[in-house]
Structure 1
Amino acid sequence: MKPSTRRRLFRGSLYVVFIAAVAAVLILADWKAIKVHFLDLEVAKAMFPEIIVTAAKNTIVYTAIAFVGGLLLGLLLALMKLSPVGPYRWVATGYIELFRGLPALLVIFGFAFAVPLAFQWRPPGGNASLGLIALIVVSGAYIAETIRAGIEAVPPGQSEAARSLGMGPAWTMISVVLPQAFRIITPPLTNELVILIKDTSLLFIAGMALGDRELTTFARDAVSQTANSTPLIMAALMYLVITLPLTQLVAKLERHQKRGR
């Protein structure tokens, strides 16, 4: 048998397995129970407009705050890790390794409950603010490594050319290296933004006031009130509405970079 024939038969068998699996799910699923417990239109309608004007809005606001804060912190940590001064490198490396190694849920829990007890301090906004600070702390560690990789990906000749024109190290970094580095790391940074959107769902552990609830907390409360799982489906759809355009943007940026190379 020819190799091309074997490949066609193998692909055909994969299609058959896939179709059989889908058919089995469709046949075996209890669609009546699914409709009652997960697709109740009355429960879904009762979630509007709060699911948009409160839950989705808070999710977007929390994501924006955490991303901007994480970006600034990550830039500082990346520059410290690349610093010729040893203590700066050690501190940045220790911070990055620590918070990349800890689960985000544990960090949020620690900031929401341990920090107020240890320092007798609570910021304006209460637990929601403490949870956001934890997200900034965690995202900053990941973004720092992304920025560091972008800076190191800029050809050394760019810095050497800037130095030959009389630019100092700081101005070379700001005006020459960082713009090129951020152009390189735009896709992974956008991907980090998508991850942060989903990580806002972890803020429920901090305890949220009614007006501060993001999508997951809002859906969880609605499930408790209605004894129905439809709110979970609605929250999932809202997350997809927010994240799918961003994932498509990441794919577009990656294609653009490949064409540029």
Structure 2
Amino acid sequence: MHDFLRTFFDLDEILAVLPTLLTEGLRNTLLIAGLAIALGVVAGVLLAMLLLSRRRLVRLPARLYVDVFRGLPAIVTVSLVGLGLPAAGIRPFGREPLGYAVLAIALVSAAYSAEIFRAGIQSVPRGQLHAARSLGMPYLTAMRVVVVPQGVRNVLPALAGQFIIDIKESALVYLLGLGLGQRELYFIAEERQAATYNSSALVAAGACYLLLTIPLTYAVNRLDRRMREGRRAPVSVASPAKVAA
């Protein structure tokens, strides 16, 4: 039992690595995940619109993208983007791995977000689109102003759940060898564990991830309950006077 506690819950190790985790690691994890989420949402909406097109030539590239990036393990995508592109001479971010890290997570996030947005848009009654078109709105304007906002509202819980996944998948960018000042939570903890052969740093990093994901999980569950309760039709209760009448 003593060896177990010393390996996973060594207080000295946790206190030694915690300041770096909370300053550098947490900051960069939120930066990578936040930028990836923003890019993923924008690309996901555009892909969802393409997936809903009636033209096969428009739908096909979007469907191919979504199927490929949903089918590949995220670690493969991170490796292909962060290691493969620079090796092939494609360096949109120069030699800075942080940009490739954000791009890799965003590509995966966009594929999943596209399916979420597609489902949300399709859940909006077609009459909404027809009513907007009857008022003279062009198709794209009607989708942007009327249909898409309602569709996004319908899938907010699922979308928030995808954000939690993006935060956890940001740990995979350690493969890219982030430099000092760019390291995220897992990278810092893994370096410490490799140097000390003690897993307490990984436990500390795990606690930091839980501080991010558990509140978000409860917020998603609460949002889901509120939205489901809001969709329930109000029950009309007759007053005693009316019943007596």
1:48-74 Cα distance to aligned partner (Å, 9 max, x none)? 321111001111111100000111111
Matching of residue 234 in structure 1 with residue 200 in structure 2: no
- Partners of 1:120 and 1:56 in 2: how far apart? 29
Q: Is the 8 A contact 1:146 1:189 kept in 2?
A: yes
Deviation at 1:124, TM superposition (A): 4.3
Q: Is the 8 A contact 2:32 2:101 kept in 1?
A: no
Number of the residue aligned with 2:151: 181
TM-score normalized by the length of structure 2: 0.91
Q: Report matched runs for 1:197-212 at 5 Å.
A: 197-212=167-182
Q: Is the 8 A contact 2:8 2:199 kept in 1?
A: yes
Matching of residue 117 in structure 1 with residue 90 in structure 2: no
- Partners of 2:10 and 2:227 in 1: how far apart? 44
Number of the residue aligned with 2:188: 218
SS in 1 for 2:37: helix
Q: Report matched runs for 1:1-261 at 5 Å.
A: 30=1, 32-124=2-94, 126-261=96-231
- Partners of 1:172 and 1:103 in 2: how far apart? 36
Q: Is the 8 A contact 1:128 1:207 kept in 2?
A: no
Percent identity, please. 36
Deviates more, 1:161-170 or 1:98-107: 161-170
Number of the residue aligned with 2:236: none
Q: Is the 8 A contact 1:62 1:200 kept in 2?
A: yes
Tell me which stretches of 4 or more aligned residues in structure 1 moved more than 3 Å.
none
Deviation at 1:259, TM superposition (A): 0.4
- Partners of 1:33 and 1:169 in 2: how far apart? 66
Q: Which runs of 5 or more residues in structure 1 are unaligned?
A: 1-29
TM-score normalized by the length of structure 1: 0.85
Aligned residues: 231
- Partners of 2:37 and 2:126 in 1: how far apart? 29
- Partners of 2:65 and 2:100 in 1: how far apart? 19
Q: Is the 8 A contact 2:193 2:199 kept in 1?
A: yes
One-letter amino acid matched to 2:216:
L
Aligned-CA RMSD value = 1.3
- Partners of 1:113 and 1:236 in 2: how far apart? 26
Which fold has the larger relative contact order, with Cα–Cα distance below 8 Å and residues 6 or more apart in sequence?
Answer: 2
